């Protein structure tokens, strides 16, 4: 007996649709149709791609309810429920005789199945599989499930089973625990379930992958190809969308599967980039004002610094200066590694704005960081006579412009400033308190948002709206992978600080098991006695029964004893602001030698004498967050040390994360690795990033396709910013359907 498939051709009738299978007896007189898969020609109707599933009579009410619970309510939703993997059931793996690192796909006969009762009312169900036509020496395989009553009902002796899982050695047996499985029957041999590359779709309660596969097959058979609209510009990709959908679900070959996936990923990415390009075109079209003075104040600031700016800083300042001088509103992202000097670049931009007669504001995510910026700005700007104001939830301080500023403004010909303007602060530093009435901002020309990922979109928009089309500069000390600058930040201009100042000390990073804590304590004591300072960081403030992690408050007394008689202090987010600032000030002056802290020190803390950081339960932190924390040391001329203690020495993913951190200080390499390990959803958070969930595309692996989609979208809007040309009418409709997608962090 052999099986063949009749391929579809354009223009053929419903009776000749693709995928009909025929069973042909060798030596027989003609073919007999397989009743398992043949569809009655009267049931084959041209179903619209957008049709609701509840309109389709061939889907039972019970199935519709199950699909609805799964979020599949239209034919389009069903056909874009893509497989998460495939099994090549044209050839199965041989039954293993040992453990394997890779999962295997096997087909066999259930020779024995039964339940064994364990302690604590636990049940273990074993199904022993043997290869079909097994020889005497072949090794049976045990498929094992615990407390899976539905499996016990589904599997019986004599059935033919396809299983997928990772074989492990268990005593004398080879066992696959909780494998994916599918019961097949004789009729399946010529069906969509065997003898081909078979799609495995994510299933749900009541909807097995086998049932979903059959319904998707039936929908593909019935859908009207003319209703499946193209979502890519003409000539962008040669594969028709309807054919891509057929091949992504039921591929005829690995090559056709790859071509189909490429087309569908391009559809996802082009939709994203169209939104990005539209938002960018909209911003460019908005009228704005120039907010750039001649630059004398900035030059004075740079001349007073005890070090030279890096080439990267000078390049970023030049890019921002050009934006400030333009009547187009600036919408720029400044990103770079920890310690690359973003704050100085931002301050330079703020001085250019002040010289033009406007105010500038910097919004920080925490009070500690806002106060750190305030103190730094006051120290640098007092000699220039510029008033700086602090606005946080608990503090409101301001310094008006000093007399020498008004005098300098006249003498040096600084444009846009006069004595009345100088009676109020020119620069505001604060937290979200800057967003509300009473902040005193009346002529906002530049809004700088530090650590922008910690603010919500509406918060940022509210600050921006306090000025008349103010320029916006957002900063992050987490370097952003290129794939994300093309998507989440795609409508922003990007300035990159990829160079560190030359006077920074070397940081040595080592990952150790937590059993090495006594050695770490001895090492820290030696350096503190030599005059240095240290941070000890914990993931929690207080202990938790649910989380196996140490806590700063619980461990503080222990560290006081470890480091006595040297002074230690405890710092975390629940300490009152005034007390928090007093603790930080004592640490800056060197009165206390060690801070036992949480991640409240992650950004903005600058103490050059702090050269040791010990991070407990390091495996509980993200890779980028560990790099941020490490950036608190190595800020002076002394060699620094970061010790990562971990309790999960057997966890491969945790150890890989710590290995990457130990091997490189390059924040851009670390950001790429973090994206690779965690994925964009975990890295950014769906709500924060504005990224819609991608069904097929991978921002990291498919970066070349993202670049293709981005360039095509940019080319379209460069040629037709309003999409007014007749051939672009369908793009306007596509954009209208994606209005809710917000891709900008400053939208």
- Does 223 have pLDDT greater than 50? yes
Topology match between the domains 296-497 and 507-679? yes
SS3 content of the chain, % helix, strand, coil (to 5): 40, 20, 40
Least confident of 96-100, 103-107, 613-617, 668-672: 668-672
pTM above 0.85, yes or no: no
- Does 149 have pLDDT greater than 90? no
- Does 420 have pLDDT greater than 50? no
- Does 732 have pLDDT greater than 50? yes
Mean pLDDT of 362-386: 88
Q: How far apart are CA 699 and CA 337, in angstroms?
A: 21
- Does 20 have pLDDT greater than 60? no
Least confident of 2-11, 221-230, 476-485, 686-695: 2-11
Q: How much is the pLDDT for 7? A: 31
Tell me which residue of 88, 116, 120, 83 sits closest to 104, measured CA to CA: 88
Encoded tokens for 668: 């851009």
Query: Taking a C-beta distance cutoff of 8 angstroms, is the pair 690, 488 a contact?
Result: yes
Which tops the pLDDT comparison, 402 or 84? 84
C-alpha separations of 381 from 304, 370, 386 in Å: 11, 16, 6
Least confident of 4-18, 86-100, 248-262: 4-18
Domain ranges, ordered by start, for the chain: 1-36, 45-84+201-225, 89-196, 229-285+701-747, 296-497, 507-679
Q: How much is the pLDDT for 46? A: 84
Encoded tokens for 641: 């040390």
Which helix (H) or strand (E) segment holds residue 398: the answer is: strand 396-398
* Strand partners for 2: 24
- Does 3 have pLDDT greater than 80? no
Mean pLDDT of 708-713: 92
Which helix (H) or strand (E) segment holds residue 143: the answer is: strand 141-146
Architecture of domain 296-497: 3-Layer(aba) Sandwich (3.40)
Least confident of 120-129, 485-494, 520-529: 485-494
Mean pLDDT of 712-727: 90
Q: How much is the pLDDT for 127? A: 95
Residue 436's pLDDT band, with cuts at 50, 70 and 90, is: low
Residue 423's pLDDT band, with cuts at 50, 70 and 90, is: low
Q: How far apart are CA 274 and CA 522, in angstroms?
A: 58
- Does 411 have pLDDT greater than 50? no
Q: How much is the pLDDT for 394? A: 62
Q: How far apart are CA 363 and CA 367, in angstroms?
A: 10
Q: How much is the pLDDT for 467? A: 59
Q: How much is the pLDDT for 540? A: 86
Least confident of 156-160, 503-507, 630-634: 503-507
Task: Kindly report the length of the chain.
Answer: 747
Q: How much is the pLDDT for 526? A: 95
Q: How much is the pLDDT for 137? A: 63
Mean pLDDT of 267-293: 85
Residue 232's pLDDT band, with cuts at 50, 70 and 90, is: very high
Query: Taking a C-beta distance cutoff of 8 angstroms, is the pair 623, 478 a contact?
Result: no
Residue 334's pLDDT band, with cuts at 50, 70 and 90, is: very high
- Does 75 have pLDDT greater than 90? yes
Encoded tokens for 628: 């941020």
Fold of the 89-196 domain: OB fold (Dihydrolipoamide Acetyltransferase, E2P) (2.40.50)
Residue 468's pLDDT band, with cuts at 50, 70 and 90, is: low
Count CA atoms within 13 Å of residue 500 on its CB side.
19
Domain 45-84+201-225 has CATH 1.10.150: yes
Q: How much is the pLDDT for 414? A: 38
Q: How much is the pLDDT for 45? A: 58
- Does 722 have pLDDT greater than 80? yes
Mean pLDDT of 482-490: 70
- Does 10 have pLDDT greater than 60? no
Q: What is the 3-state secondary structure (H, E, C) of 183-250?
A: EECHHHHHCCCCCCEEEECCCECCECHHHHHHHHHHHHHHECHHHCCCCCCCCCCCCCHHHHHHHHHC
As a whole-number percent, the residues of the chain with pLDDT over 70 amount to: 80
Q: To the nearest whole number, what is the mean pLDDT of the chain?
A: 81
DSSP 439-476: S--SSEEEEEETTGGGS-HHHHHHHHTTSSS-EEEEEE
- CATH number of the domain at 507-679, please? 3.40.50.300
- Does 487 have pLDDT greater than 60? yes
- Does 131 have pLDDT greater than 80? yes
Which tops the pLDDT comparison, 119 or 344? 344
pLDDT digits (tens, 9 = 90+) for 595-647: 999 988 876 678 899 999 999 999 888 888 898 899 889 888 889 999 999 98
Q: How much is the pLDDT for 418? A: 39
Query: Taking a C-beta distance cutoff of 8 angstroms, is the pair 665, 672 a contact?
Result: no
pLDDT digits (tens, 9 = 90+) for 543-554: 665 566 788 888
- Does 675 have pLDDT greater than 50? yes
Q: How much is the pLDDT for 692? A: 57
Residue 145's pLDDT band, with cuts at 50, 70 and 90, is: very high
- Does 13 have pLDDT greater than 50? no
Mean pLDDT of 672-678: 76
Q: Cβ contacts of residue 280 below 8 Å, gap of 6+? A: 490, 491, 717
Mean pLDDT of 553-576: 91
Least confident of 157-161, 245-249, 285-289, 743-747: 743-747
């Amino acid at each position: 007996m052999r099986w063949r498939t009749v391929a579809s051709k354009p223009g053929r009738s419903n009776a000749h649709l693709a995928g009909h299978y025929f069973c042909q007896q060798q030596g027989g007189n003609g073919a007999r149709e397989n009743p398992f898969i043949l569809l009655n020609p009267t049931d084959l109707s041209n179903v619209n791609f957008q049709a609701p599933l509840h309109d389709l009579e061939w889907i039972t009410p019970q199935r519709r309810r199950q699909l609805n619970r799964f979020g599949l309510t239209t034919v389009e939703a069903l056909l874009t429920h893509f497989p998460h993997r495939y099994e090549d059931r044209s050839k199965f793996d041989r039954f293993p005789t040992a453990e394997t690192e890779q999962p295997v796909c096997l087909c066999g006969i259930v020779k024995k199945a039964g339940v064994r009762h364990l302690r604590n009312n636990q049940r273990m169900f074993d199904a022993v599989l043997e290869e079909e036509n097994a020889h005497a020496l072949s090794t049976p395989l045990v498929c094992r499930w615990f407390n899976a009553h539905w499996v016990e009902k589904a599997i019986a002796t004599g059935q033919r089973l396809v299983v997928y899982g990772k074989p492990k050695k268990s005593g004398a047996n080879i066992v696959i625990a909780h494998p994916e499985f599918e019961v097949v029957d004789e009729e399946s041999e010529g069906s969509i379930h065997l003898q081909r590359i078979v799609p495995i779709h994510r299933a749900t309660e009541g909807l097995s992958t086998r049932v979903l596969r059959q319904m998707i097959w039936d929908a593909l058979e019935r859908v009207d190809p003319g209703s499946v609209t193209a979502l890519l510009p003409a000539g962008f990709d040669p594969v028709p969308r309807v054919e891509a959908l057929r091949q992504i679900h039921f591929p005829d070959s690995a090559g056709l599967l790859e071509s189909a996936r490429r087309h569908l990923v391009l559809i996802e990415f082009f939709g994203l980039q169209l939104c990005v390009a539209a938002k960018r075109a909209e911003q460019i079209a908005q009228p704005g004002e120039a907010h750039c003075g001649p630059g004398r104040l900035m030059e004075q600031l740079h001349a007073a610094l005890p070090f030279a700016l890096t080439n990267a800083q000078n390049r970023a300042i030049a890019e921002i200066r050009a934006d400030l001088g333009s009547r187009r509103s600036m919408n720029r992202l400044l990103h770079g590694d920890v310690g690359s000097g973003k704050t100085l670049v931002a301050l330079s931009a703020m001085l250019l704005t002040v010289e033009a007669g406007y105010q500038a504001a910097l919004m920080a995510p925490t009070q500690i960081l806002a106060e750190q910026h305030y103190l730094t700005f006051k120290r640098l700007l007092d000699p220039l006579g510029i008033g700086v104001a602090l606005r946080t939830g608990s503090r409101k301080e301001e310094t008006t412009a000093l007399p020498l500023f008004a005098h300098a403004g006249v003498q040096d010909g600084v444009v846009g400033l006069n004595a009345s303007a100088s009676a109020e602060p020119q620069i505001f530093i604060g937290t979200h308190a800057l967003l509300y009435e009473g902040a005193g901002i009346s002529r906002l020309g530049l809004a700088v948002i530090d650590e922008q990922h910690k603010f919500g979109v509406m918060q940022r928009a509210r600050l921006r709206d306090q000025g008349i089309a103010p320029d916006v500069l957002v900063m992050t000390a987490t370097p952003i992978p290129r794939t994300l600058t093309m998507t989440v930040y795609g409508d922003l201009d990007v300035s990159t600080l990829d160079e560190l100042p030359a006077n920074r000390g070397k940081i040595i990073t080592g990952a150790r098991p937590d059993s090495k804590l006594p050695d770490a304590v001895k090492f820290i004591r030696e350096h503190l006695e030599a005059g240095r300072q240290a941070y000890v960081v914990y993931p929690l403030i207080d202990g938790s029964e649910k989380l196996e992690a140490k806590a700063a408050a619980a461990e503080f007394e222990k560290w006081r004893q470890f480091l006595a008689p040297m002074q230690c202090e405890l710092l975390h987010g629940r300490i009152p602001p005034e007390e928090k600032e007093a603790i930080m000030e004592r640490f800056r002056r060197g009165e206390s030698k060690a801070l036992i802290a949480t991640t409240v020190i992650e950004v903005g803390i600058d103490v050059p004498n702090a050269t040791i950081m010990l991070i407990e339960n390091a495996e509980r932190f993200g890779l980028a967050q560990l790099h941020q924390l490490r950036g608190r040391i190595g800020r002076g001329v002394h060699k620094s040390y970061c010790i990562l203690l971990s309790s999960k020495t057997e966890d491969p993913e945790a150890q890989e994360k710590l290995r990457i951190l130990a091997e490189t200080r390059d924040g851009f390499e670390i950001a790429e690795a973090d994206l690779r390990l965690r994925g964009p959803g975990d890295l950014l958070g769906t709500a924060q990033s504005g990224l819609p969930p991608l069904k097929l595309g991978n921002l990291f692996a498919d970066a070349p396709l993202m670049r293709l989609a981005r360039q095509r979208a940019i080319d379209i809007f460069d040629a037709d910013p309003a999409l007014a040309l007749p051939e672009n009418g369908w793009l306007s409709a596509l954009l209208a359907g994606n209005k809710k997608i917000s891709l900008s962090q400053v939208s």
